[in-house]
Structure 1
Amino acid sequence: MTSPALSVQLYAVRDELTHDLDGTLSRLAAMGLRDVEAFDFVDRAPALADSLAQNGMRARTGHASLLSAGLGFDDPALAAGQAGPPSQDAVFAAARRLGVEIVIDPFVSPDRWLSEDDVLDTAARLNDAAKRAADHGLRVGYHNHSQEFVASFRGASAYEVFADQLHDDVVLEVDLYWAATGRQDVVALLGRLGDKVRALHLKDGVVGDDPFQPGAARMDPTTLDQRPAGQGDLPLLDYLAAAPSTEFGVIEFDYYAGGNIFDGIQASVEYFQAAGLR
């Protein structure tokens, strides 16, 4: 099976990170993790870079809004009453400071996936962002939820229409839990996407109703039943085997109701380490 670098999305420990940056990273490093995926990193890139270095860690991927006016229900900029996310140039400059190699847009509004014209426009915008990122020595990508699978055009989901338009230097980070929530055959999806898939969100849990269906109530993360790897519905190792070009396998919890979040991450780390990921 493929053996990508094992990482963790720092959003999973967002509260802990705010209160104790160094202590949080130290606990993750003690689990054997050497890679993390950053989020909301523009303003804190210097402090985060210093703390990562002190703990022998890297952030080679990072989430930042490149395409949308806001990230949605959990957008830190909107929550702070700011006008919106930083400019692309600010994002790319901070990414270089942090050592990020791939900047990944984590969320494009559900209404942008219901019309083929909007889907094609979103792909064009990401391709344009990739050109600007290349000037900084960076790649860009996109991370899905489930809204990308609601609509279909000419027999293909909006997500796959989008993916087909992306330039070769633009990557996909497939969130396995959200693809399953979108009622996808995930192994078949990964096979069709091929080597565009360079990162996976290795997220397990019980797959429930799709909260991003049109007309659904605003998504409440606390209703999600996400669990440590190997303790939910998803055959994560089968998914890894179906995406052999994956460079980064990223553990993440949108919300963890199982107790201490570090325990949930530790259980996932041990599961993947036993399968050969490091």
Structure 2
Amino acid sequence: MSLPVASVQLYTLAEQFTADPQGSLDKLAAIGLRNVEAFDFVRQPAEIRAALDASGLAAPTGHAPLLSDELWTPDGSIPTPAPEVVFEAAATIGIQTVIDPFVDPARWLTEEGVTDIAERLNQAAEVAAGFGLTVGYHNHAQEFVASFDGQSAYERFVALTDERVLLELDLFWALTGGQDVPALVRALGPRLVAVHVKDGVVPASNPWAPGAPAFGTDSLDQRRAGTAQVPLAESLHAAADLKYAVIEYDRAPGDVFDDIAASYAFLRDGGFIA
């Protein structure tokens, strides 16, 4: 089994990247990273591609909404362009897999909602194939609130999606959703091509469960990889055919580049990446 390569989700440094795209990417390259995961890339694909090329970086994966009219984040909503527009931008940048990063929690509470999500992503996979691309889904914790006949909404979704639909498991959010994370990694098998490597003290309860208090990223206690509660080493060892170990912080605890460097060192020194 080959080891995954390291990457970093650009949402982690959204403020810095917006202010200075080239300088931010140069700092990531200086840390030792060779890959990033693009975020909010549809508006400026040519500019992002040029900055990546200048830094010697690639973006094999990218996050973009495929399943919603708007992509909700704790810090605001991003309008959803047509899938064809997303895939054309992805191809310009060199992204190979476009990953939907968030679907509204209410849609995960019913079997009909989960079926609709799966069917839409299956359809998106068909459209993406015409551009030579694949699609995937990235979880948070809302996918683990409801269950149907002993299956979590997430497990039902996986069962309903075509095998062409790839999976990116956020290890922190899966733990927040009450999952045995290494066991879930094993169960997903070869469809799991990427994980989000982040650590922290998980919230006391699932923040997307009905009736949960209002949630924002400023409430998160996230820490450098290997220093808190998420079973990162066990989860990475449990993966069958992982291609990307993607460093991410929803809320970096300190200087974002120092925090990224620390998580990269955890992956490198632990022998978790190629």
- TM-score normalised by length of structure 1: 0.95
Superposed CA RMSD: 1.3
Match of 1:264 among 259, 263, 270: 259
The residue that corresponds to 2:30 in the other structure is 30
Q: C-alpha distance in 1, partners of 2:73/2:82?
A: 20
Q: C-alpha distance in 2, partners of 1:70/1:216?
A: 22
Matched-pair contact (CA < 8 Å) for 2:12–2:248: yes
Q: C-alpha distance in 2, partners of 1:259/1:197?
A: 30
Match of 2:195 among 186, 200, 204: 200
Unaligned runs of 5+ in 2: none
Runs of 4+ aligned structure 1 residues displaced above 6 Å come to none
> CA offsets, 1:202-249, max 9 Å, x none?
111111232111112332101111111111111211101111211111
Q: C-alpha distance in 1, partners of 2:2/2:151?
A: 27
1:103 paired with 2:98, answer yes
Q: C-alpha distance in 1, partners of 2:207/2:113?
A: 21
Size of the alignment, in residue pairs? 272
1:89 paired with 2:94, answer no
Q: C-alpha distance in 1, partners of 2:266/2:52?
A: 24
> CA offsets, 1:84-136, max 9 Å, x none?
31110000000000000000000000001100111011101000000000000
- TM-score normalised by length of structure 2: 0.96
1:136 paired with 2:131, answer yes
SS at match of 1:184: coil
The residue that corresponds to 2:230 in the other structure is 234
State how 1:6-21 maps to structure 2 within 5 Å.
Answer: 6-21=6-21
SS at match of 1:72: strand
Percent identity between matched residues is 49
> CA offsets, 1:56-84, max 9 Å, x none?
10000000000012221347654xxxxx3
The residue that corresponds to 1:48 in the other structure is 48
Counterpart residue type for residue 52 of structure 1: L
Matched-pair contact (CA < 8 Å) for 1:73–1:219: no
Q: C-alpha distance in 2, partners of 1:259/1:224?
A: 13
